[in-house]
Structure 1
Amino acid sequence: MTPRRLRPRAVLACGAGLAVTAALTLTGAAGAQAGPAAAAGSTTVTPAGHSFAATLNGKAGFKAGSVTATCTASSSRPSDGSDGNRIPEAPGNQNPSGPVTSGINAPTYSGCTASLPGVTTTVTTSGAWQVSMQNGSPITATLTIPTGGFVLKSSGLANCTITAAPTAAADIVATYTNGSPSKLTVSNAGVPVKVEGGFGCPTSTTTSVFNAVYDITDTTDPASQITVSE
């Protein structure tokens, strides 16, 4: 699949598993006339054509109502036969007026535990995920979860199913920091969820909160760094 440069869709987020969703909305005072939206600045992601991995640094936390899940391992890595986790080749790695987008392989989660006693937790992910990088101050990274692409299940004293982006793809805005390695930080990002289950399941909850930090590394050339600039 040829790497594409896509326009931003929404700001996706992730809820109980990886998901990360945060919508940025600018509202004026009641009755005030809205001004023109600010144009997005130029973005360049380098090295062009290189593959990258995202690896959890610390723990990922997901909270939906009374249920809090914590995972100790998560990653998204390039794989054979897939265009996921690869920066577009030049000139696709540059956008004069917006973000640069790459497809990513659905992240995996493991080592997950729940805050409820007597409950075990698993997270499964699926579908075509994306990440969009937008240069600025700060640099932002929008993670897009496909519809139903993140599912957290608990079993034991509470048998719950929490699905992120239940009816439409969801976007999360995270902060990206260039470095060695570069980091993608998700801080209290809200993502739409649907909660199903019986006793102990927060079925009235429609939003989950996600927190995580991912190290972003160059797998084509480990001596290089994945960098976002103007």
Structure 2
Amino acid sequence: MSRTRTALALGMAAAGALSLASVTATATPLPLAGSTTVTPAGHSFKATLSGKATLKAGSVTVTCSVSASTGTVPAAPGNQNPAGAVSSPISPPTYSSCSSSIPGVTPTVTTSGAWTVSMQNGSPITATMTVPVGGLVVHTTGLATCTVTAAPTAPGAVGGTWVNGAPPSLTFTNASVPVQVTGTFGCPTSATSSTFNAVYKVTDTTDPTQQITVGP
């Protein structure tokens, strides 16, 4: 067979394989998110830190022992989504009684803006806390003056898990958060992300005898 015919045959075979791959990819749809229902509909809740929360940027870790946020489950039918997550607005979480891993450095954490938390039923049940642009700022004073701004240019999605219970818990384990760090010598100015760890217990403040529950 001539070189021209061989090249033509190889080209046709490649085109056929590409067409088959395209058909196969088109015929395999992406899986859809399952249905989610959060109950009781319309009830208010409070998330309270259990243990300590840590935010680590570079070699610096800020640890806080007090944190809380409040929110409301959407009223029916907004508390149900047949093909995805259910989102609730929450108050900017407060953080206090904080310390730094650097001796002689005192951190202060401030939060602001429109925060949300969304729940997606599954195994496990996943939770996503959305930090608005610049919605969390850590400022340190003392031997190093640093400013760590979370979600500096776009809202940040912080992934976690939800476990139903009495009370239910919301856990963030080494969740990545984009940050921008500025400051003096000793500040982790090269860090572009931070890891967040915390466990929150969630109580129904509308009716303390009930539990906030995530299901299908």
Please give the TM-score of this superposition, normalised by the length of structure 2: 0.87
For the pair 1:201 / 2:187, whether they are aligned, the reply is yes
For the pair 1:51 / 2:37, whether they are aligned, the reply is no
RMSD in angstroms over aligned alpha carbons?
1.1
Task: Give the 5 Å matches for 1:50-129.
Answer: 50-77=43-70, 85-129=71-115
The one of the two structures with greater contact order (alpha-carbon pairs below 8 A, sep at least 6) is: 1
Q: Quick one: distance in 2 between partners of 1:107 and 1:198?
A: 27
Based on CA coordinates, which of the two structures has the bigger radius of gyration?
2
The one-letter code sitting in structure 2 at the alignment partner of 1:52 is F
Tell me how many residue pairs correspond in the alignment.
Answer: 191
**Consecutive unaligned residues in structure 2, runs of 5 or more:** 1-24
Give 1:120 shift.
0.4
Moved over 2 A (4+): 33-37
Give 1:172 shift.
1.1
Q: Quick one: distance in 2 between partners of 1:145 and 1:45?
A: 21
Q: Which has the higher helix share?
A: 2
| SS of 2:37 mapped into structure 1 | strand
| SS of 2:172 mapped into structure 1 | strand
The one-letter code sitting in structure 2 at the alignment partner of 1:114 is S
For the pair 1:161 / 2:147, whether they are aligned, the reply is yes
Q: Quick one: distance in 1 between partners of 2:153 and 2:31?
A: 29
> Which residue does the alignment assign to 1:213?
199
Q: Which has the higher strand share?
A: 2
Query: Deviation string for 1:76-122 (max 9, x for gaps)?
Result: 12xxxxxxx11111111000000011100101000000000110010
Please give the TM-score of this superposition, normalised by the length of structure 1: 0.81
Q: Quick one: distance in 2 between partners of 1:38 and 1:197?
A: 45
For the pair 1:141 / 2:116, whether they are aligned, the reply is no
Query: Deviation string for 1:108-144 (max 9, x for gaps)?
Result: 0000000001100100000000000100000011100
**Consecutive unaligned residues in structure 1, runs of 5 or more:** 1-32, 78-84
| SS of 2:72 mapped into structure 1 | coil
Give 1:198 shift.
1.1
For the pair 1:37 / 2:23, whether they are aligned, the reply is no
Q: Quick one: distance in 1 between partners of 2:88 and 2:178?
A: 23
Q: Quick one: distance in 2 between partners of 1:90 and 1:202?
A: 46
> Which residue does the alignment assign to 1:175?
161
**Identity of paired residues, percent?**
65
The one-letter code sitting in structure 2 at the alignment partner of 1:55 is T
Q: Quick one: distance in 2 between partners of 1:68 and 1:161?
A: 13
